[in-house]
Structure 1
Amino acid sequence: MSASHRRTVIGGALAITLGLTGVACGDSDEGTPANGLEKSDITLGTMTVADTTPVQIAIDKGLFKAEGLDVKTQVIQGGAAGIPLLKSGRLDFSFGNYVSLFTAGVKDPGFKPKIVAEGFQSASKTHTLMVRKDSPYRTVQDLKGKKIGVNTRRNISTLLVRAAAKPVNVEFDEDENFVEIPPPNMEQSLKSESVEAVQAIEPFGTQMEQSMGARMVADLSSGPTADFPIAGYAATEKFIKENPKTTAAFQRALQKAQGMAADRKLVQDTLPTFAKGIDSKVASTMSYGTFPTTLSATRLQRVADLMHEFAYVEKEIDVKQFIADSAA
């Protein structure tokens, strides 16, 4: 064989080899990523609050990347805001409070949310009822009939307030007593006296205490709602069925980050890096809840039972129907 003929044969073989390599390692006709996941580019709905710090930890530490995921975050105002985005497919996963997820799952036959991981559980002073420094109101009873700012009506915010008020025989009406205010705007609402109190989540409670001397009249993370499950991460049933490997990869990365969040120093150092307006002083003095690394149906059933007690839903809910099989 001549030298020129050998070069032709080798060149042809190399071209075939490269072509086969492209088929083996590149995307398939269906668009399956090379890493074996059904989908690598993920959009996650999240909030700029302490509750979602593990998401930022997972990004910073490369935990999502290690699982083959490229996670893009989209800030949402609350769990209820994430639901239409999940339904439409604009979000693949979303952080959201359980009240929003359970309510939508029960009342909207076209929406089947599945919780893939728990996100946040309350602890002392993570959820409080706060008033102005010079306010005459000092107890939940004093606020009977008054306007209270909450993130969203008929949701976790109002449920916590009503649960705290029931033992002292005070009832609040969802429409007459609660005013929807985004958490970052609650301080101004107190200052302007458009409301008499606000249901504050951290770090906004600590911020208001330090900046305007706001006072706590009730710790909503105590008594019947002590160590209360607040929020988790969910996807639609359809997404999970179509993307089981992607879902499992997301769960593994997040579970590692949730475990790392047991280190308070790591959480307080991470929070100011993604939560606008939260400085190191607030982060170091605010109250923190816990970040569960397992998903417990028994724990989440507490939320469903309280929702039924206060007529957020007509019938009792078995939360197992809202838990992804891979998370059970």
Structure 2
Amino acid sequence: MRIQNACRASIVAAASLVTLAGCSASSGGASGGSLEKTDIVVDAFPAIDSAGLFIAEQRGLFKAQGLNVTIKLAATSQTAIDGQLKGQFDITSADYVTYVDNVLLDKAPLRIIAESSFLQPNVLTLLAKPGSKVQSVRQLKNKTVSVNAPNDIGTLLVDSLLTDNGVPLSLVKFNNNVDFPHVPQNLLTGKVDAAFAPEPFVSLFSMNVGTQELADLDQGGTTDFPIQGVAVTQKWAQDNPHSLAAFERAYAQGQEIADTERTAVESALKKFLGMRPLAAALVSLPSFPVGVNPVRLQRLVDAMVRFGLLKQKYSGFKIKSIIDGG
């Protein structure tokens, strides 16, 4: 398995900008029938949330199942899904908001096959510049908050935070196009008053720029909130059932390791995201669940409807209908 050089170079470049940007796993090889496809291409959003995937490659877990998996690193969750629907990628790892948007709004035939992560303290935060006059969420009235993409997971989490703190969403302006490496510049120049950012950027910005955490997004209505998952198209699942099962077995093993061995996560982040050892040692980690919990994922759909990312007509949508085996 290999990372494409161009994708890796983009991650390393982004890193330099910030002085860096229910089932159980089986042991043993492929089983249950011959593999329909052994060369698998996965396009994954380059985040800590993908650590289980990275570990499965690094530990040879996919190879043990008879799979040769190539990981590419996606520019955004949407570009990953776009490529998947065009047949460029077999499997993607992206945020759930983008998956659900594509299924409901664009009728994309996707199936969620595994969870990547759910929120834990200090993994996703709202940041302010050093010495900012904004010291609380309630002071964000008539202020500007940045997220990295419109109507994405960041928007949903920030909307929930503002609502929980009594701040009308109509009184907050969103800048929807601030990618994470450029958060410090936008904060320091006053273009935004607060910024949504994930680890490893949270720790790196704090070390290198002195940004301060305005709020941890793992609170209130978004405590333990599902963030990122893994999906295939319905046709791919139908055409490759044994290959999919083999992938799921290896992936589940990677998730179990990620959730119990921090050193394995640090090693994977250094290899796949180009993180420096100190940064990898300091970042806060999400939980890395095994399998898919429909109840947990349904919270995301309900929140999307509540905050207007989905119209009310989708309030009856059950995410179990797009979960593999659901």
Give the TM-score range, shorter chain. 0.7 to 0.9
SS at 1:180 equivalent? coil
Partners of 2:300 and 2:92 in 1: how far apart? 19
SS at 1:177 equivalent? strand
SS at 2:149 equivalent? coil
Aligned partner letter, 2:174? N
1:183 correspondence with 2:184 = no
Which one has the largest radius of gyration? 1
- State the partner residue of 2:89: 91
How much has 1:175 moved relative to structure 2?
A: 9.9
- State the partner residue of 1:275: 273
1:265 correspondence with 2:263 = yes
CA deviations 1:2-56 (Å, max 9, x no partner) are xxxxxxxxxxxxxxxxxxxxxxxxxxxxxxxxx9211111110113221111122
- State the partner residue of 2:321: 321
1:248 correspondence with 2:259 = no
Aligned partner letter, 2:212? R
Two-structure CA RMSD over aligned residues (Å) = 1.7
User: Looking at both structures, which has the greater relative contact order when contacts are Cα pairs under 8 Å and sequence separation is at least 6?
Assistant: 2
Gaps (5+ residues) in structure 1?
1-34
- State the partner residue of 1:135: 132
SS at 2:142 equivalent? coil
- State the partner residue of 1:26: none
Mark the CA change 1:173 to 1:99 in structure 2 (over 3 Å): closer, same or farther: farther
134-143 or 58-67, which moves further after superposition? 134-143
Mark the CA change 1:174 to 1:248 in structure 2 (over 3 Å): closer, same or farther: farther
- State the partner residue of 2:143: 146
1:211 correspondence with 2:208 = yes
Aligned partner letter, 1:123? Q
How much has 1:291 moved relative to structure 2?
A: 0.3
- State the partner residue of 1:225: 222
Partners of 2:168 and 2:270 in 1: how far apart? 37
Partners of 2:323 and 2:286 in 1: how far apart? 22
Mark the CA change 1:174 to 1:123 in structure 2 (over 3 Å): closer, same or farther: farther
Partners of 1:104 and 1:268 in 2: how far apart? 32
- State the partner residue of 1:32: none
- State the partner residue of 2:19: none
203-212 or 134-143, which moves further after superposition? 134-143
CA deviations 1:105-157 (Å, max 9, x no partner) are 00112x11100100011100111000101211111121223222212111110
Partners of 1:93 and 1:184 in 2: how far apart? 26
1:112 correspondence with 2:103 = no
Following superposition, which runs of at least 4 residues in structure 1 exceed 6 angstroms of deviation? none
Partners of 1:299 and 1:63 in 2: how far apart? 27
- State the partner residue of 2:73: 75
Partners of 1:171 and 1:157 in 2: how far apart? 17
67-76 or 300-309, which moves further after superposition? 67-76
Partners of 1:300 and 1:45 in 2: how far apart? 21
Partners of 1:318 and 1:57 in 2: how far apart? 31
**Aligned match for 1:304, one of 301, 305, 308:** 301
1:58 correspondence with 2:68 = no
How much has 1:174 moved relative to structure 2?
A: 11
- State the partner residue of 2:38: 40
Partners of 2:55 and 2:102 in 1: how far apart? 29
Count residues in correspondence. Answer: 290
Mark the CA change 1:173 to 1:97 in structure 2 (over 3 Å): closer, same or farther: farther
Contact persistence 1:119–1:232 (CA under 8 A): yes
Report the identity percentage: 31
Mark the CA change 1:48 to 1:132 in structure 2 (over 3 Å): closer, same or farther: same
Aligned partner letter, 2:67? L
Partners of 2:118 and 2:163 in 1: how far apart? 22
